[in-house]
Amino acid sequence: MMTPANQNHSPRLGAHFDAWCCETGQFLGRGDLRGRRLAFAARLDALPEAALDQMGIAHADIPRIVFRDLFSG
């Protein structure tokens, strides 16, 4: 089991990925949550609400945005 010390993203972002995978029926392996996509997601997740609001997105939208080229919806 992965512990918070071994995670390369925040628990909040991990929860958003879990919820998005459940909602869309998509499964993502550990390899999908590494590299450029996770780095992009982590940068978005680190932004304050006001910045995300200006972009027209919410923290819960981050997984959909990061994987938009792979999954529609």
Residue 4's pLDDT is what?
47
* Residue 61 maps to a domain: yes
Domain extent, residue 62, equals: 10-66
Residue 26's pLDDT is what?
62
Q: Any idea which residue has 């071994």 for tokens?
A: 6
* Residue 72 maps to a domain: no
* Residue 22 maps to a domain: yes
Q: Is the pLDDT assigned to residue 57 strictly greater than 80?
A: yes
* Residue 2 maps to a domain: no
Kindly report, residue by residue over 5-52, the tens digit of the pLDDT. Answer: 445 567 778 777 777 777 766 666 555 556 788 888 888 999 999 999
Token pair of 62 as six digits: 């981050």
* Residue 34 maps to a domain: yes
* Residue 18 maps to a domain: yes
**Distance between CA atoms of residues 67 and 37, nearest Å:** 8
* Residue 73 maps to a domain: no
Domain count, the chain: 1
Please state whether the predicted TM-score (pTM) of the whole model is above 0.75.
no
